[in-house]
Chains A and B, each alone.
Chain A
């Protein structure tokens, strides 16, 4: 099992360019998430998809769009990149919490620089 995979690993964009970050999971999880991490900060939620066919905004959704392509894949699109979107982006997946435990698994991250 690869777990959660993300592509690309690194990307440099010019202001105004667009790109799509890809994420896939092979754990058959229903829920998927996009977070960003800035220096000295914890991770902040951009968008999430509780189940296939649904998406919802998180704490910092401005400037982003998402697509839940199928149960495995959840993509994040920057339509017009800005320097403030320079960050490390993490995708995650989980099943609904049940009983005593809840686990959410993360991908390796995409390091994006916008100049």
Chain B
């Protein structure tokens, strides 16, 4: 049973606009949430994380929002750039060890 779900397989956004990637989870014991970016034939690259005691974390163009009551998190990328085109994975950890991954959302940023 998948505990982390990314329900949008793909997203297309124009360059300069905001990209919003969504993620839902079912396990209330998760205490850390991470976002990764992945290019074909490469390993996942860590982007940003948030702990369950916070509701927002920012790093440059990337902001993650956590809504614990809804068991929902989102990644905002502002402004979107063509180089952001990749597959984005949401992941969650219980007690900060192994990660449970969603299936990914493929983001395409068009000029």
9-residue interface stretch from A14-22, A40-48, A70-78, A79-87: A40-48
Per a CB cutoff under 8 Å, which of A41, A43, A44, A50 touches B97? A50
Question: A42-B103, A102-B34 are known contacts. Are A48 and B43 too (CB-CB below 8 A)?
Answer: no
Q: How many B residues, CB 8 Å from partner?
A: 31
Cβ of A50: which chain B residues have Cβ within 8 Å of it?
A: 97
Query: Which interface class (under 10, 10 to 19, 20 to 34, 35 or more) fits A?
Result: 20 to 34
Could you give, for residues 2-28 of chain A, a 1 whenever the CB lies within 8 Å of some chain B CB and a 0 otherwise? 001000000000000000000000000
Question: A90-B44, A106-B43 are known contacts. Are A48 and B51 too (CB-CB below 8 A)?
Answer: no
Cβ of A4: which chain B residues have Cβ within 8 Å of it?
A: 43
Cβ of A92: which chain B residues have Cβ within 8 Å of it?
A: 99
In the complex, are the beta carbons of B98 and A48 less than 8 A apart? yes
Q: State the CA gap A50–B93 with chains docked (Å).
A: 13
In the complex, are the beta carbons of A106 and B44 less than 8 A apart? yes
In the complex, are the beta carbons of A97 and B95 less than 8 A apart? yes
A64 close to B (CB within 8 Å): no
Could you give, for residues 72-115 of chain A, a 1 whenever the CB lies within 8 Å of some chain B CB and a 0 otherwise? 00000000000000000010101011111111111111000000
Cβ of A97: which chain B residues have Cβ within 8 Å of it?
A: 31-32, 51, 93, 95-97
The residues of B with any CB-CB pair to A shorter than 8 Å are 4, 6, 31-32, 34, 36, 41-46, 49-51, 53-54, 57, 89, 91, 93, 95-104
The residues of A with any CB-CB pair to B shorter than 8 Å are 4, 31, 33, 35, 40-45, 48, 50, 58, 90, 92, 94, 96-109
Inter-chain pairs besides A101-B49, A102-B96, 13 sampled, C-beta below 8 Å: A42-B91, A42-B101, A43-B89, A45-B99, A45-B100, A58-B98, A94-B96, A102-B32, A102-B51, A102-B93, A106-B36, A106-B43, A108-B42
